[in-house]
Amino acid sequence: MNLIKQAHQFSQRALPKRDPNFGKPLDTSHGPILYVEGVTVSFDGFKALNNLNLYVDDGELRCIIGPNGAGKTTMMDVITGKTRPDEGSVYFGQQIDLLNLSEHQIARGGIGRKFQKPTIFEALTVYENLELATAADKRVWFTLTQSLSAEQTDRIDSVVRQIGLLSEVQRPAGLLSHGQKQWLEIGMLLMQSPRVLLVDEPVAGMTGEETERTAELLTSLAGDHSVIVVEHDMAFVRSIARQVTVLHQGSVLAEGTMDQVQNNPKVIEVYLGE
């Protein structure tokens, strides 16, 4: 088979079916905004996720902890469409089957993900980065030469205040501190008005003061958004956590308040054994 034909067949296979509920108002009338049920992901026979169940409520702030290799990143990869599970179901609200959507559709459809390493445009100002994040067409020159609607400028204004970068708005992003860059990246996700925000190790490399401000930012976002934070820094988790899920060997080991999970003998054993 020639390469072009092969590539075509692959792209046909990789293309997910369009979910008929995609784009409709999200149905969270029965509580959870995110359902991960019976999800298993195997890599060469090794189960990175093993019958994982996770339910996140609308507006909740959930912390996910677990030792190295517990499956935290794989779980986020499944929710955001980067990895397809071998088994299980993943729903956004009651009706949107995320397994039928591409990574791009999931991101545009209301699930934003912040990776550890910021992907901001360092040569552009804070404002321009936020402006670019509002645009459907991401070509930089095109976006920056279009005029913004009043609604878009209001949104940038509100986000820039929310992320605490009002005084830096005209600074090139490359000149921001490490913490400020992380907040800008969160701001860029907020421009898309996501219902769910997945945040991977938000305070890695931050100063104590930046960590505190990040805690304030993430807690302020809960309510309007469901925020799922994966973090190894236990002091930070304690400072923001309401409900904590502990993953171990691809499954949920324990769930509850920080005190409940920290006093759970199974959790103590897993962490001491690390």
The site for ligand ATP (CB under 6 A) is made up of 43, 48, 66, 68-74
CA distance 54 to 94: 14
Residue partners of 228: CB distance under 8 A and separation at least 6: 34, 56, 62, 64, 76, 196, 197, 198, 199
User: CB of residue 226 vs ligand ATP: minimum separation in angstroms?
Assistant: 20
100: CB partners within 8 A, 6+ apart = 16, 17, 18, 19
- State the Cα–Cα distance between residues 13 and 7, nearest whole angstrom: 10
The number of CA neighbours under 13 Å toward the Cβ of 98 is 34
Q: Provide the minimum distance between the beta carbon of 56 and ligand ATP in the complex, in angstroms, as a whole number.
A: 17
179 in Cβ contact with 94 (< 8 Å): no
Q: Nearer to ligand ATP by C-beta: 78 or 160?
A: 78
CB of 84 to ligand ATP, least distance (A): 12
Shortest gap between Cβ of 131 and ligand ATP (angstroms)?
Answer: 33
Q: Which is nearer to ligand ATP, 39 or 70 (CB)?
A: 70
164 burial via Cβ count (<10 Å: 0-12, 13-18, 19+): middle
Shortest CB 55 distance to ligand ATP, Å: 19
Spatial contact of 23 and 100, defined as CB atoms under 8 Å apart: no
Q: Which is nearer to ligand ATP, 82 or 139 (CB)?
A: 82
The two tokens of residue 30 are 């029965």
Helix (H, G, I), strand (E, B) or coil at 49: strand
Of 50 and 102, nearer to ligand ATP (C-beta) is 50
Closest distance to ligand ATP from the beta carbon of 270 (Å): 12
Give residue 234's identity as a one-letter amino acid code.
M
Q: How many residues does the chain have?
A: 274
Cβ closest to ligand ATP, residue 66 vs residue 88: 66
Of 195 and 248, nearer to ligand ATP (C-beta) is: 248
